[in-house]
């Protein structure tokens, strides 16, 4: 199973995140016909706290973006 991490900046547009989560949800629903979910996701913020969107909606983060390991091919 693949995991996608969303790092949430302050004043983000919720549609940018929730739209992708909806697509992942439906991909998993379709994948259930072939044996199970293929995607999972985690919402992160810089400090691990909830982030307020541009429209005022709070999105809870599951952890800090500093906890995400960076693959060696992405390191500068």
Model pLDDT for residues 26-75, shown as the tens digit of each residue: 888 888 888 877 888 889 888 888 999 999 999 988 877 665 454 444 44
CATH class of the 2-74 domain in this structure: alpha beta
pLDDT at position 12 is 93
- Cβ density class 53-74: b for 16+ within 10 Å, e for less: beeeeebebeeebeeeeeeeee
* Torsions phi, psi for 12 (to 5 deg): -70, 160
pLDDT at position 47 is 87
What residues does each domain of the chain span?
2-74
Among residues 38, 39, 51, 46, which one has the least CA distance to residue 63? 46
3 pLDDT above the threshold of 50: yes
């Amino acid at each position: 199973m693949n995991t996608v991490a969303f790092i949430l900046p302050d004043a983000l547009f919720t549609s940018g995140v929730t739209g992708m989560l909806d697509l992942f949800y439906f991909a998993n629903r379709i994948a259930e016909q072939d044996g199970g979910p293929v995607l999972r996701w985690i919402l992160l913020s810089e400090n691990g706290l909830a982030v307020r969107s541009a429209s005022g909606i709070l999105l809870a983060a599951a952890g800090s973006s500093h906890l995400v390991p960076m693959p060696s091919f992405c390191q500068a």
